[in-house]
């Protein structure tokens, strides 16, 4: 069953792809098995994260990039993963998707997948990475990952991308810029979309200033290159020779998309030549191993330690008779002694 | 040393409080020890989370609430934890804090602490909870936790609060409302600040509609009451009898603050009467135990499993010779066999 599905996926069957994506997203046994097999065929796709505040026109921009990438490199397929932070019942995403589908449905080499960020089992970043791997193995050369906002979960998601595009618009809100300084740090490419509005040039020069002052200096390429699973601070790489360009686009009129796509492809070339591509790939593999380790540990722990013991310790901690640290020491001691017992 | 500090803290010494907060934030041995002792004296403070988009005037609102709470319940001290999502070198927070300090410095029973969200060791929510516990033990009856944005990390932070206030302003952005539907779900109280601007009444009635339609229906009170550490979905509580009020404020002119404070105090009473206060407390204790369990596991794992083995498996996975799952199985098998060895 799984084998037949994977085989269809390899042959380019969109229905098989869709079904495997669902299985992976729902973490069924079939999904887990498929992902394990498909992983061995991954590593070639360029993952491109696109983030920015609501109203910055990200979806239109993503559509435009997808179309341009298809024209530029016709032999490569394009996947779009749209992460929708709203709750499942708002319907906003559905409407947005319908518009998007109409726009792109002519091209069978573009595949669009929406993912709700709430309720994602086991972390949004892990989920996105898993879907990316399926697309990668299915021969999609470009994977566009669109996410709203600038929270930590979005940062986690785009950290797994090779190329991160941060989108802003002219003079939104009270400030000259609506994106926060913090988000600049993760940008490989900065885009001022809706650049036909007043204030676009000001936004561009403001962002260029920020870049010039070092606010957008990349450091996260080395962030995950830690060998220590406990999460100690990693060394930063010292060579920083990609300066994030600041580009103007009017995505709805397809203006500026050629330059933007040039930058996306140039960034991929830079990553490969500088060795960063490998670093990022390693970081993704490491993050996946770390995540699965924790999940396995907790599952094992739940099997071994009786519920009554956990309940009783939580109760005591809630009554302030013991601290959470003491509860943890007791739980670990039990878990350990059970390991010993079972080995006799 | 730790004892003397804790003793000073108990006597209300602000310098001792400040030093312990730093030790806890930096997770020094003194900090860990202090937190363990202080935890036993926690459980009485009302933790109040305030979130909303940039430009909604949260800081001014938080200041106003702090002043009103001090007048209303003069015997209780007020702590403010301001979570600053921008990078450490932007300086924005510092300026904001200076204004804030000037405003509140007359009252020695108000203590303000800023925390950078980036680089927080071991998770923002855990860090915020740890600082809250110090304030709680130090006799602060109200802890206001201010956070920007609506990302997952903000949701995690306010989930640890007893009362969550979501702040919006009239007609920001393209939409009638700038806050996303998803964020409504976590609101106990909704505030339209800057309500002297045009469109305030529309915003209020829009939000009231949303509340009426069930978008703001609370469900997260039961979210953490899972007994299973592996993160399986928990049962939702069925009784939902707090309907989030939608209030207008002009924080800069201290308008609407009395009503808002009424709601904050009413919500605390509701939580206590309904048993929800206990549930939330239990959720916080459980989250803390879960977090410490994972940290302990990873530290132990790093001690036992040789770096060379991890490196070699990560390499093989990166070369697509094995899957991350297979790497994890091998690492766990080694970890397990080492447990057995050390028990002989």
pLDDT tens digits along A110-129: 998 887 665 444 567 788 88
Please indicate, yes or no, whether residues B99 and B170 belong to a single structural domain of this protein: yes
Q: What local confidence, expressed as pLDDT, does residue B190 receive?
A: 94
Which of B230, B311, B334, B312 has the alpha carbon at shortest distance from A294? B230
Total tally of structural domains belonging to chain A: 3
Please indicate, yes or no, whether residues B194 and B234 belong to a single structural domain of this protein: yes
Long-range contacts of B220-224 (CB under 8 A, 24+ apart): B220/B159, B220/B185, B220/B186, B221/B276, B221/B279, B221/B280, B222/B279, B223/B159, B223/B283, B224/B159, B224/B280, B224/B282, B224/B283, B224/B284, B224/B286, B224/B287
CATH number at residue A100: 3.40.50.300
In a domain, A299, yes or no: no
Please indicate, yes or no, whether residues A143 and A233 belong to a single structural domain of this protein: yes
Which of A274, A211, A218, A273 has the alpha carbon at shortest distance from A247? A211
Residue A92 near residue B181 (C-beta atoms within 8 A): yes
Range 42-61 of A in CB contact (< 8 A) with B: 42-43, 54-55
Q: What local confidence, expressed as pLDDT, does residue A69 receive?
A: 97
Which phi and psi angles does A256 have, rounded to 5°?
Answer: 85, 0
Cβ–Cβ of B153/A154 closer than 8 Å? no
Q: What local confidence, expressed as pLDDT, does residue B183 receive?
A: 67
Task: Identify all chain A residues contacting B87, using CB atoms and an 8 Å cutoff.
Answer: 181-182, 185, 215
Band (pLDDT 50/70/90 cuts) for residue A89 is very low
Residue A113 near residue A82 (C-beta atoms within 8 A): yes
pLDDT above 70 (res A139): yes
Please indicate, yes or no, whether residues A36 and A78 belong to a single structural domain of this protein: no
Please indicate, yes or no, whether residues A151 and A269 belong to a single structural domain of this protein: yes
Cβ–Cβ of B55/A85 closer than 8 Å? no
The pLDDT of B210-239, averaged and rounded, is: 49
Structure-derived torsion over alpha carbons of residues A311, A314, A315, A316, reported in degrees to the nearest 10: 130
CA distance A57 to chain B (A): 11
Band (pLDDT 50/70/90 cuts) for residue B88 is very low
Q: Choosing among B40, B85, B182, which should be mutated to test the A contact, i.e. which has the most A CBs within 10 A?
A: B182
Cβ–Cβ of A331/B289 closer than 8 Å? yes
pLDDT above 90 (res B231): no
In a domain, B166, yes or no: yes
Q: Choosing among A182, A225, A316, A340, which should be mutated to test the B contact, i.e. which has the most B CBs within 10 A?
A: A182
pTM (two decimals): 0.70
Q: What local confidence, expressed as pLDDT, does residue B182 receive?
A: 58
Ranked by mean pLDDT, the top range of A22-36, B34-48, B198-212 is B34-48
Range 222-241 of B in CB contact (< 8 A) with A: 227-231
Q: Is B226 left (phi over 0), alpha (psi -120 to 50) or beta?
A: beta
Pairs of residues, one from chain A and one from chain B, whose beta carbons lie less than 8 Å apart: 212
**A307 CB within 8 Å of a chain B CB:** yes
Cβ–Cβ of A230/B41 closer than 8 Å? no
Reported ipTM: the value is 0.78
Band (pLDDT 50/70/90 cuts) for residue B336 is confident
In a domain, B285, yes or no: no
Q: What local confidence, expressed as pLDDT, does residue B47 receive?
A: 96
Cβ-based neighbours of A309, under 8 Å, separated by 6 or more? A331, A334
Please indicate, yes or no, whether residues B31 and B164 belong to a single structural domain of this protein: no
Count CA atoms closer than 13 A to B112's CA, side-chain side: 23
Residues in chain B: 344
Q: What local confidence, expressed as pLDDT, does residue A76 receive?
A: 95
Residue B193 near residue B166 (C-beta atoms within 8 A): no
In a domain, A103, yes or no: yes
In a domain, B4, yes or no: yes
Band (pLDDT 50/70/90 cuts) for residue A40 is very high
Report the residue of chain A nearest B169, measured CA to CA.
A173
pLDDT tens digits along B133-181: 999 999 999 999 998 654 556 667 777 899 999 898 887 544 444 455 5
Cβ–Cβ of A314/B289 closer than 8 Å? yes
Which of B169, B165, B142, B184 has the alpha carbon at shortest distance from B260? B165
Which phi and psi angles does A146 have, rounded to 5°?
Answer: -105, 125
Of A175, A285, A343, the CB nearest to B324: A285
Q: For residue A75, what are the domain limits?
A: 43-294
- Burial-class residue A95 by CB neighbours within 10 Å (0-12, 13-18, 19+): exposed
Task: Identify all chain A residues contacting B301, using CB atoms and an 8 Å cutoff.
Answer: 229, 293
Count CA atoms closer than 13 A to A108's CA, side-chain side: 5
The pLDDT of B216-233, averaged and rounded, is: 43
Residue A47 near residue A79 (C-beta atoms within 8 A): no
Which of B69, B83, B82, B189 has the alpha carbon at shortest distance from B140? B69
Task: Identify all chain B residues contacting A228, using CB atoms and an 8 Å cutoff.
Answer: 302
Report the residue of chain B nearest A93, measured CA to CA.
B181
In a domain, A81, yes or no: yes
pLDDT tens digits along A192-225: 999 999 889 988 988 888 787 766 545 444 333 3
Range 199-218 of B in CB contact (< 8 A) with A: 215
Which phi and psi angles does A332 have, rounded to 5°?
Answer: -65, -40
Q: For B241-266, give the DSSP string.
A: -PPPPEEE-BGGGTBSHHHHHHHHHH
**B271 CB within 8 Å of a chain A CB:** no
Please indicate, yes or no, whether residues A321 and A258 belong to a single structural domain of this protein: no
Please indicate, yes or no, whether residues B10 and B89 belong to a single structural domain of this protein: no
The pairing of beta strand B110-116 with beta strand B246-248: unpaired
Task: Identify all chain A residues contacting B159, using CB atoms and an 8 Å cutoff.
Answer: none
**B101 CB within 8 Å of a chain A CB:** no
Range 240-269 of A in CB contact (< 8 A) with B: none
In a domain, A127, yes or no: yes
Average pLDDT of chain A, as a whole number:
80
Residue A56 near residue A167 (C-beta atoms within 8 A): yes
Report the residue of chain B nearest A57, measured CA to CA.
B174
Long-range contacts of A213-221 (CB under 8 A, 24+ apart): A215/A181, A215/A184, A215/A185, A215/B87, A215/B89, A215/B90, A216/A184, A216/A185, A216/A187, A216/A190, A216/A244, A217/A185, A218/A185, A218/A188, A218/A242, A218/A244, A219/A185, A220/A159, A220/A185, A220/A186, A221/A276, A221/A279, A221/A280
Please indicate, yes or no, whether residues B86 and B196 belong to a single structural domain of this protein: yes
CA distance A71 to chain B (A): 30
Cβ–Cβ of A298/B294 closer than 8 Å? yes
- What's the token pair of residue A253? 């009129």
d(CA A257, CA A249): 6
Please indicate, yes or no, whether residues B34 and B122 belong to a single structural domain of this protein: no
Please indicate, yes or no, whether residues A240 and A185 belong to a single structural domain of this protein: yes
Band (pLDDT 50/70/90 cuts) for residue B292 is confident
Q: Choosing among A179, A187, A328, which should be mutated to test the B contact, i.e. which has the most B CBs within 10 A?
A: A328
Report the residue of chain B nearest A231, measured CA to CA.
B122
- Burial-class residue B156 by CB neighbours within 10 Å (0-12, 13-18, 19+): buried
Structure-derived torsion over alpha carbons of residues A69, A74, A76, A81, reported in degrees to the nearest 10: 40
Structure-derived torsion over alpha carbons of residues A181, A185, A187, A188, reported in degrees to the nearest 10: 140
Count CA atoms closer than 13 A to B27's CA, side-chain side: 11
In a domain, A300, yes or no: no
d(CA B81, CA B230): 30
Q: What local confidence, expressed as pLDDT, does residue B90 receive?
A: 35
Tell me which of B16-20, B313-317, B337-341 is least confident: B337-341
Residue A285 near residue B324 (C-beta atoms within 8 A): yes
Q: Which of the 8 DSSP states describes residue A251?
A: G
Of B117, B230, B278, the CB nearest to A299: B230
Please indicate, yes or no, whether residues A60 and A188 belong to a single structural domain of this protein: yes
């Amino acid at each position: 069953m799984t084998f037949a599905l994977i085989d269809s996926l390899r042959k380019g069957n969109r229905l098989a792809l869709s079904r495997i994506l669902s299985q992976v997203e729902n973490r069924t046994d079939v999904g887990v098995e498929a992902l394990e097999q498909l992983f061995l065929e991954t590593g070639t796709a360029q993952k491109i994260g696109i983030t920015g505040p609501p109203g910055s026109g990200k979806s239109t921009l993503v559509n435009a990039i997808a179309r341009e990438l298809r024209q530029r490199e016709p032999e490569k397929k394009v996947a779009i993963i749209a992460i929708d932070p709203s709750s499942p019942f708002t319907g906003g995403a559905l409407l947005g998707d319908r518009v998007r589908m109409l726009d792109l449905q002519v091209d069978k080499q573009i595949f669009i997948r929406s993912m709700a960020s709430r309720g994602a089992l086991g972390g949004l970043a892990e989920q996105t990475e898993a879907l990316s791997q399926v697309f990668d193995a299915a021969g999609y050369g470009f994977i566009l990952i669109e996410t709203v906002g600038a929270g930590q979960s979005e940062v986690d998601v785009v950290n797994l991308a090779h190329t991160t595009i941060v989108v802003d618009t002219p003079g939104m809100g009270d400030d000259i810029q609506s994106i926060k300084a913090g988000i600049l740090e993760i940008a490989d490419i900065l885009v001022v979309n809706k650049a036909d509005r007043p204030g676009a040039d000001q936004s561009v020069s403001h962002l260029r200033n920020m870049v010039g002052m070092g606010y957008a200096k990349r450091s996260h390429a080395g962030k995950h290159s830690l060998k220590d699973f406990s999460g100690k601070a990693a060394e930063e790489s010292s060579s920083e020779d990609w300066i994030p360009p600041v580009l103007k686009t009017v995505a709805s009129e397809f203006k500026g998309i050629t330059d933007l796509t040039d930058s996306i492809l140039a960034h991929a070339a830079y990553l490969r030549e500088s060795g960063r591509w490998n670093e990022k790939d390693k970081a993704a593999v490491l993050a996946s191993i770390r995540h699965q380790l924790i999940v396995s540990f907790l599952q094992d722990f739940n099997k071994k330690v009786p519920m009554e013991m956990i309940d009783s310790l939580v109760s005591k901690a809630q009554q302030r008779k013991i601290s959470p640290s003491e509860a943890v020491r007791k739980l670990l001691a039990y878990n350990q002694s059970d390991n010993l017992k079972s080995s006799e």
